[in-house]
Structure 1
Amino acid sequence: MTNSKVALVTGAGQGIGRAIALKLAADGFDIAVADLSFQQEKGEGVVREIEALGRKAVFVTADVSSKDEITAAVDTAAEKLGSFDVIVNNAGIAQVKPISEITGEELDKIFRINVNSVVFGIQAAVAKFDELGVKGRIINAASIAAIQGFPILGAYSASKFAVRGITQAAAQELAPKGHTVNAYAPGIVGTGMWDLIDERLSEINGKPRGQNLQENVDSIALGRIEKPEDVAGVVSFFASDNAGYVTGQVLLVDGGMLYN
């Protein structure tokens, strides 16, 4: 066994997940970079970035909508890196569509990826924490859409409200074991997800590409679009000793859009 702490980050091949993985590595964690198989090349690139920081890392393939695959990813992380202390249930998708047009298949898909994955990640992490005798940290991806529902993002908002509820319930259930459960709630982050949202909003409301994004950015008190590193800083806090007495919280990291 190693004395180093180990974190697994889902959806870590790019975007917010990559920034989280690199920040936790800089904090001294060894990292399991988890993502879909078609993201393996990007994921292995993140592994190399982490190794350049002097930490150990491994890429693990995981479809987060599959409980078996998340469990296997956690097992692999613990086996190859020597411990298991933190899971960041980061992977997720957006879905931009009016409520009247959402299909059952689309609802099923977004809940499998954004909600079921969080439950499965919690279950797999807790089993490993308990096996290893670790008081672990569970950190989930919420959103400003977990605090306020947004038009044309109804299914996405519903999925993130669900993450918020799961985070609060799990925190209460797992507190007697010493495990903490928290979530981060980003706003308008400059990643591929918001490129997709902007494109779909343009198709729906006819505004030129980029205008919907800019209008949202204009509503941010701090006056700039969010960077993945802004989110990673909050995750770093939740994973640190400084957050040992914090559980069941959903922390907005949105530059001043919502006030909760």
Structure 2
Amino acid sequence: MSGSEKRSEVAVVTGAAQGIGRAICEVMARTGYAVCGLDRAFTDNNEEWEVRLTRFGARDAAAFPFDLNKIETHSETVSRIAERFGAVDILINNAGIGSPKRGDMLDLTPENYDATLGVNLRGTFFLTQAAARWMLNNGAKNGVNRSIVFVSSAGAEIASLERAEYCISKAALPMLTKLFALRMSAAGVNVFEVRPGIVRTAMTSAVAAKYDVAISEGIVPAGRWAEPDDIADAINALVSGAFRFATGSHVFIDGGLSIQRL
């Protein structure tokens, strides 16, 4: 694809206002996709965000206010995206929250457990369900690669006692990946899971000093934080069609954090 060409796919990214989600939108804009960002931080007027992505190279761009917790709005939101852009080809489930309060798992409250799983698992499942239904009811145009991506975490496999609810919510996403891969494969929709490691974002800013020390002591073999672009570039490659026979697969983007060592 030359720099003057535009991708024909419409990509939907949740948690698009900051951090990894913002980086995903920017990388996909540079690749020429039409990009729809969803985030509860957005308002009904997001012209600055939309103009910025268009300047990066997006074929089209729009940002919608959206709350994953409000599952009653999911089908309507998918329909609104399809009406605005003409299709829903790629869904990148990036939105998520960390543990509301880190601490001993024996002190974890039902409220914090429910809040974390409500966004990271329940909301993600039902938005994906709504998008998958739309995809199955509306065939892909010729040459379009359709994909669903779950952004989970190295915490899907690596236990962290001080944020049990977060790890539980992320550990369920590998199964969501497998289930949706099986359900959507006949329709040519590839499903992937990406597991970031220690990423420099607002979510990790409160514990940055702790992670700085851990990284300096070798917890990440690559010797540095992951940056949002590291995750975004990997997702951009997955949805490009280059991995079209790898549905149901996961990839760690963690600098070797998850590798077991003696």
Structure 2 counterpart SS, 1:106: helix
CA distance in structure 1 between the aligned counterparts of 2:246 and 2:79, rounded to whole angstroms: 26
Q: What secondary structure sits across from 2:95 in the alignment?
A: coil
Conservation of the 8 A alpha-carbon contact between 1:217 and 1:225: yes
Distance 1:65 1:238 in 2: 27
User: Percent identity between the aligned chains?
Assistant: 28
Identify the match of residue 84 of structure 2 among 72, 77, 80: 80
- Structure 1 residues 32-111: aligned runs within 5 Å: 32-36=36-40, 38-40=41-43, 44-55=47-58, 56-95=60-99, 96-111=102-117
Aligned with 2:43: secondary structure? helix
Give the superposition deviation at 1:42.
9.9
Residue equivalent to 1:137: 147
Q: Distance in 1 between matches of 2:247 and 2:7?
A: 25
CA RMSD of aligned residues (A): 2.0
Change (3 A) 1:114 1:161: same
The one-letter code sitting in structure 2 at the alignment partner of 1:31 is V
Structure 2 length normalisation: TM-score? Answer: 0.88
Runs (5+) with no aligned partner, structure 2: 1-5
User: Over residues 163-201 of structure 1, what are the superposed CA-to-partner deviations in whole Å (9 max), with x where a residue is unaligned?
Assistant: 1111122212222222211111111111011013x1xxx
Asked whether the equivalents of residues 188 and 217 of structure 1 are also in contact (C-alpha less than 8 Å), the reply is no
In structure 2, relative to structure 1, the CA distance for the partners of 1:118 and 1:101 (3 Å cut) is: same
CA distance in 2, matches of 1:44, 1:229: 23
Matched-pair contact (CA < 8 Å) for 1:13–1:42: no
Asked if the contact 2:50–2:62 (Cα under 8 Å) also holds between the matched residues in 1, the reply is: yes
Mark the CA change 1:69 to 1:44 in structure 2 (over 3 Å): closer, same or farther. farther
Alignment of 1:22 onto 2:26: yes
Matched to 2:128, the amino acid is I
Question: How many pairs are equivalent?
Answer: 246
Letter in 1 for 2:214: N
How far did residue 26 of structure 1 move? Answer: 1.5
Alignment-derived partner of residue 235 in structure 1:
235
Q: Is the 8 A contact 1:168 1:248 kept in 2?
A: yes
SS at match of 1:242: coil
Q: Give 5+ residue unaligned stretches, structure 1.
A: 199-209
What per-residue deviation string (whole Å, max 9, x for no partner) do you get for residues 30-54 of structure 1? 0111000x44399654322211123
| Distance in 1 (alpha carbons) for counterparts of 2:259 and 2:12 | 30
